[in-house]
């Protein structure tokens, strides 16, 4: 059986007692859309986590491939969005201890042999008491996916909702949220382009041009873009919960009518300097074992 082994870096100086307590909590979490922790090592200074192996790699590899050989069809992209939403909804409100992921991005979404999407790298140092609605923390995450309230350091689960919105747009548009190869500076930042196209009613222009299937289903893709826009509201209070997003994706509810497209300036956000001390990126992924 293949597994993936992750080694925690030395700078994540977790005491053995803390490490064991957190691993025990993570190990007890089972959901079809979360990568399963299968074992660990806490011998001396070694901190290793053993996860199920996901044969189709990360979502990042499929939406931003080095060589454009195969593109994901609309039906599969829609399913992937639903899978991610269900995984996050479980972390935020359905498991015994609330978990804020704090670093949702395509690299942290893994795909199994059936292209079922699962959220990875959740748990360590991000476990929240069930009755807490906010936490105060240092800046973590990846620039471009970070909600504007990171600058206040008062964080709720809505930071994951914002990152989810950015990632959904990337998946639907087939481009990164920051693309410095664009000739026009105004087109470098996906949220800026999204705002501009929304204001003139031209969201169809953003549908992934590398996929004929996505173009054919453009109207449905645009409807999902509106879900992403709801998740990207600057005021986190207005953003939906992930449970509400799941309901919309299942057709049981509708997106709020009054969506603001006045997103945070992506240029400013992409240039936020995050020091090594403040980034929570403790893992180094090995190959299959």
- Per-residue pLDDT of 158-172, as tens digits, reads 999 999 999 999 999
**Region of residue 53 (phi > 0: left; psi between -120 and 50: alpha; otherwise: beta):** beta
Q: How confident is the model at residue 268 (pLDDT cuts 50, 70, 90)?
A: very low
- Cα 167 to Cα 50, 61, 129, 207, 271: the distances in Å are 26, 13, 27, 14, 18
Q: Do 72 and 211 contact (CB within 8 A), yes or no? A: yes
Q: Is the pLDDT of residue 128 over 70?
A: no
Q: Which range among 35-44, 78-87, 114-123, 156-165 shows the weakest confidence by mean pLDDT?
A: 35-44
What is the Cα–Cα distance from 114 to 136, expressed in whole angstroms?
Answer: 38
Angle 267-102-77 from CA coordinates, rounded to 5°? 80
> What amino acid positions are annotated as catalytic residues?
103
- What mean pLDDT value characterizes the chain? 84
Q: How confident is the model at residue 15 (pLDDT cuts 50, 70, 90)?
A: low
pLDDT value at position 47? 80
pLDDT value at position 182? 83
Instruction: Please write the tens of the pLDDT for every residue from 74-83.
Output: 999 999 999 9
Tokens of 3: 């597994």
pLDDT value at position 274? 40
Domains of the chain: 56-282 (1.10.510.10)
What is the Cα–Cα distance from 92 to 85, expressed in whole angstroms?
Answer: 11
Query: Structure pTM?
Result: 0.86
What is the Cα–Cα distance from 12 to 1, expressed in whole angstroms?
Answer: 29
**Per-residue DSSP letters for 245-256?**
HHHHHTTSS---
Higher pLDDT, 263 or 225: 225
pLDDT value at position 126? 65
């Amino acid at each position: 059986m293949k597994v993936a082994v992750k080694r925690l870096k030395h700078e994540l100086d977790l005491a053995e007692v803390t490490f064991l307590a957190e691993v025990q909590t993570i190990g007890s979490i089972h959901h079809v859309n979360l990568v399963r922790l299968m074992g660990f090592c806490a011998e001396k200074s070694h901190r290793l986590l053993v996860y199920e192996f996901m044969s189709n790699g990360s979502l990042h590899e499929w939406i931003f491939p080095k060589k454009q050989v195969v593109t994901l069809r609309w039906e599969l992209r829609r399913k992937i969005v639903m899978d991610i939403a269900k995984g996050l909804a479980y972390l935020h409100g359905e498991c015994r201890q609330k978990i804020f992921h704090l670093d949702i991005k395509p690299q942290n979404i893994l795909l199994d042999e059936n292209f079922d999407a699962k959220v990875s790298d959740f748990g360590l140092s991000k476990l929240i008491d069930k009755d807490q609605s906010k936490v105060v923390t240092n800046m973590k995450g990846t620039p471009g996916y970070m909600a504007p309230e990171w600058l206040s350091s008062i964080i709720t689960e809505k930071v994951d909702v914002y990152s989810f919105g950015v990632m959904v747009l990337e998946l639907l548009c087939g481009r990164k949220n920051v693309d410095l190869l664009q000739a026009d500076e105004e087109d470098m930042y996906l949220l800026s382009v999204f705002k501009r196209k929304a204001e003139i009613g031209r969201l169809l222009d953003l549908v992934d041009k590398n996929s004929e299937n996505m173009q054919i289903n453009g109207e449905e893709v645009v409807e999902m873009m509106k879900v992403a826009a709801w998740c990207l509201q600057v005021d986190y209070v207005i953003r939906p919960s992930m449970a509400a997003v799941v309901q919309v994706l299942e057709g049981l509810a509708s997106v709020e009518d009054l969506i603001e497209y006045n997103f945070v300036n992506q240029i400013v956000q992409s240039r936020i300097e995050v020091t090594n001390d403040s980034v929570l990126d403790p893992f180094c992924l090995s190959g299959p074992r």
